[in-house]
Structure formats: C-alpha cells, structure tokens
Amino acid sequence: MKIVSAAEMREIDRATSERFGVPSLTLMENAGVAVARFILSDYPQAERVGILCGKGNNGGDGFVVARKLVEAGRAVRVLLLCDPEELRGDAAAMFQNMLQKLQPRKIAPLTVCEASELDSPDAAEIFAADVIVDAILGTGFRPPVSPLYAAAIAKMNAASAAIVAVDIPSGADADAMQPSPDVSDQARADAVVTFTAPRPAHVFAALIRGPGGPTVIAPIGSPPEAIVSQLGLHLSTPFDFARLLVPRKRESNKGSYGHVLVIGGSLGKAGAAAMAGFSALRAGAGLSTIATPKSVLATVAAFHPEVMTESLAETEHGTISLRALGSGLDALLECKTLAIGPGISRNSETAEFVRAIVKRRDTPMVVDADALNAFEGAADKLNGRGRTVVITPHPGEMARLTGLSIAEVQANRLEVARSFAREHELIVVFKGYRTLVAAPDGEVWVNPTGNPGMATGGTGDVLTGMVAGLIAQYPEHALEATALAVYLHGLAGDLASESVGETSLVATDLVRFLPQGFAQTRNRKSGEIRLHA
C-alpha cells in the first residue's frame, strides 16, 4: 500500500472523480460510512455521540457520520463551527442531506461562529458525549489554526470522551515524518479513520495519544490506478504478499523450497544460531543447516532435531576460526541462502572470517548481529552489487556502520536506511518502531506490526532466520520476501503478546505463533487496514 503526501491525496481524489468516474459525493459518502461503521463496531456502548464539523470537506464527512449514526439509533448532536451559508460544494450538499435526516427527529445542529459561544450549555452537552467525532480539519489543513477552531480543539482535548478523528486529528501536519514537538493546537485522538492510502503522519507521527485505538485505512472507491505517489514509501499489508502465500504444489519436496545455511554461534551463544536455523524452517525453507564452532555443535544440535549441523574450526575462545575457510566451507555454501551473524561473537579473528565470507559474490545472504559489527570502520567492504545481500541492523549496529551517533541515526531513520541501501546496493532492514526495509533503488517498505514486548534477546535471530528462509523460497522476489518476513515477525510478536503479554514475551514465542501469523496473513483478502501505535 502506497504512502502518499497530502498533495498527492488531493490529486488521487481528483483523478478518481475526473478520470475514473467516481463522483466526489460518493467518495464523501463512503468516507462517512467508514467512520460510522468504526464507531458502531469499536464503541458499541456509546449512546451519545458529539460531532464537531468544520466548513470544509472534513466537515462534510462528519455530516455523513451524523446521518448514519442517527439511522443506527444513536443520540447524535452536531456542532458546526461556521455559518451554514459558508459551506460549499459537497460539504453543503451533505449538510442538507443530514438536515433531512435530523429534522423529523427534531435534532438541530448547533451553529457556533465565535469562540465564546463554545461555553454555552448546548455546547457543553456535546462535549459531554460518550464519543466525540473530530471532523474539523483534514489532511489538507495548512497552519495556523483559526481562533475558533483552536478553542474547539482545546474544549475537545479537555473532554473525557474518546475522540475519533476523521482523516487526521485536527491541526496535525499530514506530511510529518515524526511526532510534532508542539501539539498545543492539535486535537488528541483515541482512534483515526482515514481513507484510500495513509499519509506519512498516519504511519510515523504517533497521532494516537496514549494506549488508544487504531488508525484505520478504509477504501472508499479510488481504483489502484489512481493511487500514485513519488514518496517511494510503501506500507506493508497482507495484500502485498499474495503471490508469496499461494498454496504449495502437490508434487513438492524439501528441495523445492530452498536450503538455508546459518553460520554463527560461539561458546555461550549457541542458542542464537539454533533459533535462526529453526526459524528458517518455520518460515517455510525446505532444509536448514547450522555451521558452528566444533565445541558448540552438540549444544546447537540438541535444540531442534529438524536442523542439520556442521562443525567449523574454532579459536581458543570457542568462536569460528579463519581456518574454517577453504574448499569444505565453499562446498557447504553451494546452492544455499546464507544467514551469518547470530551468536557469532566479536572476536577479531572471527570478524576477519566474516569479512572473507561476505566478499563472496554469488551467495544470497542475510548479515546480522556481530557479523555486521565486523564491518565497523569498514562499511565500504559491505556491498551487494550483482547479488542479494540483506542486512538487519538495530540502531546501535547502524550507528557503528555509518559512523553516526545512535541519536543521529534515530532522528533520521528513513534517510539513513535509504542512503545506506543505495550506496551499498543492498537491502537494509532497519529494526525498531516501524521497522524499515530499504531497497537499493530508494524504495522503502514500512512495517506496521510488532510491539515493545519484542525488545528481548533473540528476536533478531528469529528474524534473520525468517528472512533467509523466505528468500530461499523466493530468490527472484528478495525485497518482497524480506518485507514479508519482517511483517510476519512483528505479527507473530503481536499474537504472542495477546497470549502472554508484552512483559513475559520471549523470542521463541515468535516461532510458536508464526504459523498463526501465516494463516492470518494468507486469509486477508481485502478491506480496511488497521495500524496500531
């Protein structure tokens, strides 16, 4: 799903009507229906709903919400923040449609043109509703907020009701790539319902305050051909992975789905390599082998009987030695997808071994953990030209690769990931909140799944195995396979969190819930997308 700018969204709406023949009134009707449907499903006990409407199209959406909620039997009060004579176009038409529905029930909208009028008893009744719908300003807003709107936003923010924002919280910058440091003129939101495609703020700017509800992206009638963007940003959704999730052929065998070789492990860190190797199988790879120091092999082999093992020459510290290089390892690497790094250690000789392996130009590979740290100060030697190379750094590892501070990396996550992927001609999986999958051509997939419970040892090793396992199955679609692995990894974490809670979640819970994640992703066909903070 493309992420689009506010200006691009306006063009999408225009093209939908002018080129594809979908009337703008139909788009507005569908938008209002989506918001009403969300309120009825997520706030079923809310009997009294207050709807605050501005004079633009966002207010027009609000008029549709009011009409639909009245039809559903809810007690609705509308607060219009302008003279009705100021309404134009579709908003004016929807206002008249709403009046036709409200008048027989003797429900009149409250019209307010001055901030002082918001202190009236009638206005207070609206702000005391069970749910408030924010339909004041949409993504076309440009600052500053007018005094009347600012006063209404302040009243809304002070209310105890849950607030559902139509399109975006009023006063928010739709193109923001990070949370605003000043939210004094921005409405709070417990949930957001937007339409067609997300804007950057929906994905990056933490519009939902506190432990609120989701940001819902609802289709309202724009065909895929109308949704065009130059941002190069793509939100991962189940629909993007349909061709990677088709049923397997009946005549399949284990050789049909690739062979992953994990090189990793060291004395005291055997579990990391074992988790990566088994996760490759859980992700669907036909075969998985773990190559690990000789003294660690028995421990690795004891974890999972489905995983094969190979011993490698080791240093006196129980890490992989340079002596492991040679024809035997070359043969082992043949026709496999490599995952290197889990538990491999920062031993200097082992780091030299890693750099020698990564120089190979004909092996698809995933480079993670201390295999990435082996390139600290030598990132110029990490290049994917002519082959598939995926790196999976967390902020500390990315800082070491780029020479930037962690704070600098975190302040510019998108630019850092995109630049590194372009300059080094590889795929960057930059882990963290909204994990980014950046391709060499500048395209970036943004992952919406995952939760803070995954901030625990070993989850990165599971991801490494999953990425390798999916690339082994779909070598011609490495970027999609990588994005799918990241999506499923986060989704498995979300499912695990629902079962055991964020505090108790451990890495192997992700492996346990991965089959359910596959099923849930495969079974999603169409409809709304929900993002959680």
DSSP string, 515-531: HHHHHHHHH--SS-EEE
> 267 with 207, same domain?
no
Within 13 Å of residue 235, how many CA atoms lie on the same side as its CB?
Answer: 24
Tokens in use for 501?
């809670």
Question: Across the strands, what pairs with 261?
Answer: 289, 338
DSSP string, 174-222: TT-SS--S--TTS---SEEEEESS--HHHHHS--S-SS--PEEEE--S-
Tokens in use for 328?
């035997």
Tokens in use for 462?
């599971």
Confidence of residue 304 (pLDDT cuts 50, 70, 90): very high
Which CATH number do you get for residue 173?
A: 3.40.50.10260
**471 and 390 Cβ atoms separated by less than 8 Å:** yes
Distance, CA of 189 to CA of 242 (rounded, Å): 33
Q: What is the 3-state secondary structure (H, E, C) of 35-100?
A: HHHHHHHHCCCCCEEEEEECCCHHHHHHHHHHHHHHHCCCEEEEEECCCHHHCCHHHHHHHHHHHH
Confidence of residue 503 (pLDDT cuts 50, 70, 90): very high
Q: Is residue 84 in some structural domain? A: yes
Q: In 3D, which of 316, 283, 242 has the Cα closest to residue 463?
A: 283
DSSP string, 284-295: T-SEEEEEEEGG
pTM for this prediction: 0.95
Q: Which of 176-180, 263-267, 385-389 has the lowest mean pLDDT?
A: 176-180
234 membership: H or E segment, kind and range: strand 233-235
> 403 with 275, same domain?
yes
Sign of CA dihedral 113, 119, 120, 124: positive
Length of the chain: 533
User: In the chain, how many domains are there?
Assistant: 2
**Which structural domain, as residue segments, surrounds residue 116?**
6-228
> 442 with 370, same domain?
yes
Other C-beta atoms closer than 10 Å to the C-beta of 37 total 17
Question: What pLDDT digit, counting tens, does each position of 1-11 carry?
Answer: 999 999 999 99
Q: Cα–chain-centroid distance for residue 505? A: 20
> 185 with 329, same domain?
no
Place of tokens 């067609």: 196
Q: Cα–chain-centroid distance for residue 508? A: 22
> Angle at which helices 24-42 and 57-71 pack, to 10 degrees?
50
What is the per-residue pLDDT for 239? Answer: 93
Distance, CA of 244 to CA of 472 (rounded, Å): 12
- The phi, psi pair for 52, rounded to 5°, reads -100, 120
Q: Is residue 251 in some structural domain? A: no
- The phi, psi pair for 370, rounded to 5°, reads -70, -15
pLDDT > 90: what percent of the chain?
Answer: 92
Tokens in use for 370?
């201390």
Other C-beta atoms closer than 10 Å to the C-beta of 44 total 8
> 66 with 185, same domain?
yes
Q: Is residue 252 in some structural domain? A: no
> 450 with 494, same domain?
yes
**382 and 375 Cβ atoms separated by less than 8 Å:** yes
Tokens in use for 385?
């030209």
Which CATH number do you get for residue 294?
A: 3.40.1190.20
Whether the pLDDT of residue 468 is over 80: the answer is yes
> 294 with 194, same domain?
no
Whether the pLDDT of residue 182 is over 80: the answer is no
> 219 with 266, same domain?
no
Q: Is residue 240 in some structural domain? A: no
DSSP string, 12-40: HHHHHHHTT---HHHHHHHHHHHHHHHHH
Q: Which of 80-94, 152-166, 200-214 has the lowest mean pLDDT?
A: 200-214
Measured at the CA of 27, the angle between CA 23 and CA 28, to 5 degrees, comes to 115
SS3 337: strand
Maximal C-alpha separation, the chain: 87
What average pLDDT does this structure show over 14-38?
Answer: 98
Whether the pLDDT of residue 212 is over 80: the answer is no
**209 and 188 Cβ atoms separated by less than 8 Å:** yes
Q: Is residue 235 in some structural domain? A: no
> 190 with 335, same domain?
no
Confidence of residue 181 (pLDDT cuts 50, 70, 90): confident
